[in-house]
Chain A
Amino acid sequence: ELKVEQNPLFLSMQEGKNYTIYCNYSTTSDRLYWYRQDPGKSLESLFVLLSNGAVKQEGRLMASLDTKARLSTLHITAAVHDLSATYFCAVDTANFNKFYFGSGTKLNVKP
């Protein structure tokens, strides 16, 4: 069974600080996705990573993928309160686009 593990599960940080969320997965895949979920809302796509070494950046968030290590990271630079949300990674399988999601990382950025 494919496993996707995120850590940490909870992250409380001060504004202006940097931090990294890790996503490890247990099978070979070269497609990984990051989503954001605000409280009471649905999932919003952040990044799509489609090959080894892929790096995407949007504002204060940067995502990367190392398929050999089966690891993706979501790096937060100079956090601001607006980034407070839950972040999920998901791994794509070749089976009809079936995704496996991590448990999510709940990020709280304190002013």
Chain B
Amino acid sequence: DVKVTQSSRYLVKRTGEKVFLECVQDMDHENMFWYRQDPGLGLRLIYFSYDVKMKEKGDIPEGYSVSREKKERFSLILESASTNQTSMYLCASSPPQLRRPFPYEQYFGPGTRLTVT
């Protein structure tokens, strides 16, 4: 079974703090994703990575950065946390299209509920 883990389930930070959210997957997947989930807005893609040290902006990258130094680990960084970044953050992984076994879905971690006060 694919396992995607996230470093914290709940996190409370103050405005202006630097925040690190970590995600680890154990299936040797090339693709990794960070989403935020807000009521009524579904999941919105922040950043994704298709290989070590590679990253691509998603739909809402402002205020975030990412790091992928090892294949299994993808970190989301809030350089200076703000209250509008209070949200549920979900990490996901998937194998690349050409190598993918059937089926093709993304596998999600348990999520980190971040509160910025």
Q: Are B42 and A45 in contact (CB under 8 A)?
A: no
Q: Which of B42, B56, B111 contacts A96 (CB 8 A)?
A: B56
Q: How many A-B residue pairs have CB under 8 A?
A: 62
Q: Are B97 and A101 in contact (CB under 8 A)?
A: no
Q: Are A97 and B94 in contact (CB under 8 A)?
A: yes
Q: How far is the CB of A71 from chain B (nearest CB, A)?
A: 18
Q: How far is the CB of B46 from chain A (nearest CB, A)?
A: 12
Q: Are A48 and B110 in contact (CB under 8 A)?
A: no
- A68 close to chain B: CB less than 8 A: no
* Chain B residue at minimum C-beta to C-beta distance from A92: B104
Distance in angstroms between the alpha carbons of A38 and B74 in the assembled complex? 25
Residues of A with C-beta under 8 A to B58: 98
Q: Are A42 and B110 in contact (CB under 8 A)?
A: yes
* Chain A residue at minimum C-beta to C-beta distance from B45: A98
Give the B-binding residues of A (Cβ under 8 A).
Answer: 4, 9, 31, 33, 35, 41-45, 48, 50, 88, 90, 92, 94, 96-99, 101-104
